[in-house]
Structure 1
């Protein structure tokens, strides 16, 4: 760094206390699960307020004035905007300032009697929490600016950031070396499976934090006096950089490289004259460290990186990436010119989603759109001021290597947040603001020329007041969407009195008016209350669907209410809409069981031919045999032009085969062959029809002719082997299985192979060999039926003890109510074993009899005879 690091002015112990508070923040926030939990906000506010107060006292004791850089303005203005968004407004003024918020009030809240004034924020508790965070960042930044007036303190803070990043990376490497997939072997991430296990559950956030710390580490290394002092920082750079690479975050790796290259270019552009040679050496060291990190990290994670990069190698993948949400997010920003409320994005965005999603979007994953949607036009103005302030630091003269590294690292972090939201979490945000404070401090020349002053007491009072406001904001923002939904869900699950559920539900809806899940839960409670409350349940479902048009639960509640009201056809249409909104299990597990007529099945049918084919399979499995063929005729006509219609004809042929309507099955098979002449399922169906018609040899010829076309196809080989076993061509069946043995890819397929092999041995009468194959099958795919098959073979070979053990294994896999017959079987086998042992004891006097019994027990006599029924 510049000569600023050589400043030896005496530091007040209060300023040292402020430095200690900032140090704790830099270490605590990354280790506290990446600062993702909401409880982190409490320590953040307390430590930030403490740092500010101590820094002000220290500046007053040293008779220094308080320095407020331009970058403090957007933080303070952001806190003020949060406060303004929380002011309750009368309905008329709300309609003028935010028509969308007024519309939500009229549709969702007024019918429930919640007709009081409403703020601009669509989720006030979330905005209260954001107010606390903005104030904490402001206090942290201003305190860090005062602390960073000391060169030694400035270097210590940056060193803390550098070594914290290295420590987090070391934690991840240790977990990888020990093979731990849970944090410290105890804590498992519920909604994440990070490639590198660290306190950060999100690999993008991990990469963003480590990228900043790695760049700062390298800057500290280049500013160190002497090679020995630079070694720890170089090591920290390599460790943090490896953490970035091993996180497998594509954006994190790309912007880490960008930060390093930007740092090298800054070094090369800021030096001239006599220092040119030294500057080139420093730039070369940056590039050398970058290459070392990429080489070591890339070698360690080459396979995983290749797999990750393959997911972004097509235009289709790019189209379905985060970029496709940007137009939708822009439309949300246009709908809320003054913002929907800082922090309220998670509850509001589902209203504007056009496609069902599996996971809830908590952030836009774009910093510009985040501010545009939550703060509106004022947020974009704050962003412009922030960029202007950062640009002034960028153009500052006389910056050292560490300061240039800070600017490059923060720039990379900010650009990364065009595709992520790392700065929305305190760990990265506090690290970035503290690092920027080391550059935004007063310049040495300005401090020397400026007259000494002191911090007035009102500044100290203001800091205490802001800390108090932040703590009050945390209290007012304690309720989150997750806790509110969990609380109401417990009441509904426990079947609490309907009046209690409604009262608590209305209180939570008043607190989180844009949350559709709360409407769903209250609606579900009303739906369970019977016909008298079904209309009210339907009203809650409609409000939930207003808040989230692709809400599967809303459609489900509506379906329950409509069934109770006797509107069955409309109810099944709601079930179908729930299916299209992503709740596919609901259609199979609940709706199909309740359908009674063909019209209801038609209402349930999905709109796409592909899903209709799946629906046909589930419908056949559900036992709607008397309505299945009429439904198939209707579905085939509806989806006649789609390629999937051939599979509907296949279902027709299969059903006809089961009903032994062979002429109709043959006609349906011919239609399948016409529509899908090259599809494998067409040939397999044709072979089954031929076998049912008694033309098994012709069916075998059909399948055998497909071998060259579908080389190594496991499904074809299994069908051919099954047919060959049925015809007694057992050796040829095993040859067919042997040909595809190298292509079997999972335990299920391997188990089927062993079962077909066992069936072929049984057909030949080789029960001992069949037994070994059945045992192999049950090891691959344990099930009660397979264990019982093993038991029957043991019993046929007079191996009663082994048979009893197999039955016990199978019984353990059955439900409790179905174990009685198996236990009786075990008792019978144990009795037979005792009788056999007693007979052997009586026959012990004659060797011939003993040998005969032994041979019979081993089943060897089964393999001594000739095999009949096999072709030469």
Structure 2
């Protein structure tokens, strides 16, 4: 029964990763409600497997405290805000209790997804399945975005949303698609790095054989998928999305050159191929020049989101400890807005600013320190672990976290369930790459059981 529940629960986790971006990025109440049901179901199977945890997995769960802190601090603040509003009316009240309650339920669901993902991903095989699910989901989004842009239709075929001149895929907002694709591309890049062998053939015949094997194998399929995903990223015309991907690639590569132990010799060539082939060659073909034009034409002082940040910042200092209430930015911003910004701003276009306003500075501080600790963890894995899979995934996760930290400074990526769930997946992957034993926890437990019986 325990194996069956584990398989069903893992199947639900993989399905969630494939499903979450499809219904408008799950950024509608009906789509999010359906997603919550799927998450609660996968978590239920995870709880059924709690008695079957190996000792090493119990220890690893405790070592994953940075992740649990990131995911629990925000629901905890929601509880405090709701208690202050309904039971102990004080100065610390939510400006929009209804949205705060929604944020609480959403925060609990995020935590339960991370818990279910960590519980059900017990072997290296399952870990690879998860990564392939991320790549396949992003590949579908990129191909769907290309189809919508070039089929000549004015509306999408399912939800009848307008098709503009920038790729959106099944998302409403092009920058959310950009963030989803850049995180997926980062994870896929790390997975690709993990496929390269540290030892290389010494004869030309062996080199040719390995090259042909590469062309005909799964590595080439993964490489082509990454090219298409990056092309989809370029087609979003997202200035910071493309900048974040390029910057994260370079920063993570420089860190890896220093700390990546037994780095494959082909590593540098692979990174250069992404820059030359994916970004410049393919990017130029699908419209990288238009992204460049948007960046050059950008005047920071004239950006509406800049004025939003300037006018919303004072709200932090009016309630710095517990915030104004999760999900209340639109309600709060109206009291601080000094002029018509020519648009509808229900988000701050800066995740750091919005979290500080809605949850307070202590919660933002705890989350920031925890994520920085996970950045350190990726470097630790690249430096100390022997497994190519774990070291490669650590590199991809490092790249994804850096890209998210950059992009979140100018947009509201973490307000979209699809991108948030994917980012949570990356955070859990970091801890798994650090703590999972060779083969996996399930394999380790079976080995221990056989040893005890003999």
Q: What is the SS of the residue equivalent to 1:304?
A: helix
Q: CA RMSD in A?
A: 2.6
State the distance in 2 between where 1:92 and 1:437 align.
36
Give a deviation string over 1:412-454, Cα, whole Å, max 9, x none. Answer: 1232111111111110111111122122126245998xx979x
Deviations along 1:558-617, one digit per CA (max 9) or x if unpaired, are xxxxxxxxxxxxxxxxxxxxxxxxxxxxxxxxxxxxxxxxxxxxxxxxxxxxxxxxxxxx
Cα 1:373–1:391 shift into 2, 3 Å: same
The alignment status of 1:83 with 2:83, answered yes or no, reads no
Match 2:435 to one of 417, 440, 443 = 443
Equivalent positions of 1:375-386 (< 5 A) are 375-386=359-370
| CA–CA distance in structure 2, aligned partners of residues 264 and 412 of structure 1 | 13
Contact 1:123 1:344 (8 Å CA) reproduced: yes
- Give the direction of change, closer, same or farther, for the CA distance of 1:231–1:146 in structure 2 (3 Å limit): same
Residue 289 of structure 1 pairs with residue 262 of structure 2? no
Q: Select 1:328's aligned residue among 311, 318, 322.
A: 311
1:567 paired residue number: none
Higher relative contact order (CA 8 A, sep 6+): 2
SS in 1 for 2:393: helix
Shift of 1:91: 11
Question: Among 234, 244, 250, which residue is 1:261 paired with?
Answer: 250
Distance in 1 of aligned mates of 2:189 and 2:351: 27
Q: 1:217 aligns with which of 176, 188, 191?
A: 188
* Match of residue 408 from structure 2: 417
Aligned equivalents of 1:88 and 1:302: distance in 2?
50
Rate the CA distance shift 1:92–1:412 in 2: closer, same or farther, 3 A.
closer
Report the alpha carbon displacement of residue 299 of structure 1 after superposing the two structures with TM: 2.4
State the Cα distance separating 1:197 from its structure 2 match.
4.3
CA deviation string 1:242-264 (max 9, x = no partner): 01111100000000112222342
Cα distance in structure 1, aligned partners of 2:186 and 2:379: 19
For 1:291 and 1:12, the matched residues in 2 are separated by 46
Task: Find the counterpart in structure 2 of residue 659 from structure 1.
Answer: none
Per-residue displacement from partner, 1:262-288 (whole Å, max 9, x unpaired)? 34234322335xx45x2x411320220
Give the structure 1 partner of residue 301 of structure 2: 319
Structure 2: how far apart are the matches of 1:46 and 1:249?
Answer: 32
1:396 paired residue among 372, 380, 385: 380
Query: CA, structure 1 residues 231+169, in 2 after alignment: closer, same or farther (shift >3 Å)?
Result: same
* TM-score, structure 2 as length reference: 0.83
Q: What residue is the counterpart of 2:115 in the other structure?
A: 142
Residue 266 and residue 401 in structure 1: after superposition, are their counterparts in 2 closer, same or farther (change >3 A)?
A: farther
**2:289 matched to 1:300?**
no
1:438–1:387: structure 2 CA closer, same or farther, 3 Å change rule? closer
What is the alpha-carbon distance in structure 1 between the residues aligned to residue 287 and residue 132 of structure 2?
A: 28
Q: Is the 8 A contact 1:13 1:58 kept in 2?
A: no
* Distance in structure 2 (CA, Å) of the matches to 1:46 and 1:438: 23
CA deviation after TM superposition for structure 1 residue 363, in Å: 1.2
Any conservation in 1 of the 2:78–2:325 contact (CA below 8 Å)? yes
SS, match of residue 87 in structure 1: helix
Q: Distance in 1 between matches of 2:253 and 2:133?
A: 23
Residue 344 (1) aligns with residue 335 (2) = no
Pick closer, same or farther for the CA change 1:197–1:366 going to 2, 3 Å.
Answer: closer
1:59 positional shift: 4.3
Structure 1 pair 389/56, CA: closer, same or farther in 2 (3 Å)? farther
In structure 2, relative to structure 1, the CA distance for the partners of 1:74 and 1:219 (3 Å cut) is closer
Matched, 1:133 2:106: yes
- Where structure 1 has 5 or more consecutive residues not aligned to the other structure, the ranges are 1-10, 99-119, 454-872
| 1:369 and 2:341 are equivalent in the alignment | no
Q: Closer, same or farther in 2 for the Cα pair 1:263/1:15, shift >3 Å?
A: farther
Distance 2:323 2:143 in 1: 41
Change (3 A) 1:54 1:93: closer
Quote the offset at 1:384 in angstroms: 3.3
Equivalent position to 2:46, from 55, 62, 65: 55
Cα 1:26–1:353 change in 2 (3 A) is: same
Question: Equivalent residue for 1:356?
Answer: 340
Q: How does 1:201-600 map to 2 (within 5 A)?
A: 201-224=172-195, 227=214, 228-272=217-261, 275=262, 278=264, 280-294=265-279, 295-302=281-288, 304-312=290-298, 317-321=299-303, 322-337=305-320, 338-397=322-381, 398=385, 399-441=390-432, 443-444=435-436
CA contact (8 A) 2:187 2:397 kept: yes
The secondary structure found in structure 1 opposite 2:325 is coil
Query: What's the TM-score once normalised by structure 1's chain length?
Result: 0.44
Q: Does the CA contact (< 8 Å) of 2:234 and 2:288 recur in 1?
A: no
- Whether the 8 Å CA contact 2:374–2:430 is kept in 1: the answer is no
User: For residues 232 and 71 of structure 2, what CA distance do their matches in structure 1 show?
Assistant: 31
Counterpart position of 1:642: none
Contact 1:12 1:62 (C-alpha < 8 Å) held by counterparts: no
Is the contact made by 1:85 and 1:121 (CA closer than 8 Å) also made in structure 2? yes
8 Å Cα contact 1:266-1:404 kept in structure 2? no
Q: Give the Cα separation in 2 of the matches to 1:236 and 1:33.
A: 22
Q: Pick one of 182, 191, 197 that aligns with 2:155.
A: 182
CA deviation vs aligned residue, 1:188-241 (integer Å, no higher than 9, x gap): 436x83512411121111111101111211222222376212112111111110
Task: Tell me if the contact between 1:145 and 1:440 (Cα under 8 Å) persists in the aligned partners.
Answer: no
Please list the CA deviations of residues 762-806 of structure 1 after superposition, one character each: whole Å capped at 9, or x if unmatched. xxxxxxxxxxxxxxxxxxxxxxxxxxxxxxxxxxxxxxxxxxxxx
Residue 90 of structure 1 and its aligned partner are, at CA, apart by 8.1
Q: Distance in 1 between matches of 2:98 and 2:29?
A: 12
Partner of 1:121: 94
Label 1:438 to 1:147 Cα distance change in 2 as closer, same or farther (>3 A): farther
Matched, 1:168 2:141: yes
- Give 5+ residue unaligned stretches, structure 2: 197-212, 447-454
Larger radius of gyration: 1
Residues 166 and 236 in structure 2, CA contact (< 8 A), matched pair in contact too: yes
- The 8 Å contact of residues 355 and 364 in structure 2, kept in 1 or not, is answered as yes
- Give the whole-Å Cα distance in 2 for the aligned partners of 1:259 and 1:168: 21
- Are the aligned partners of 1:259 and 1:409 in contact in 2 as well (CA < 8 Å)? yes
CA distance in 2, matches of 1:263, 1:232: 23
**Aligned residue pairs, count:** 408
Give the whole-Å Cα distance in 1 for the aligned partners of 2:111 and 2:218. Answer: 33
Matched residues in 2 for 1:380 and 1:124: separation?
20
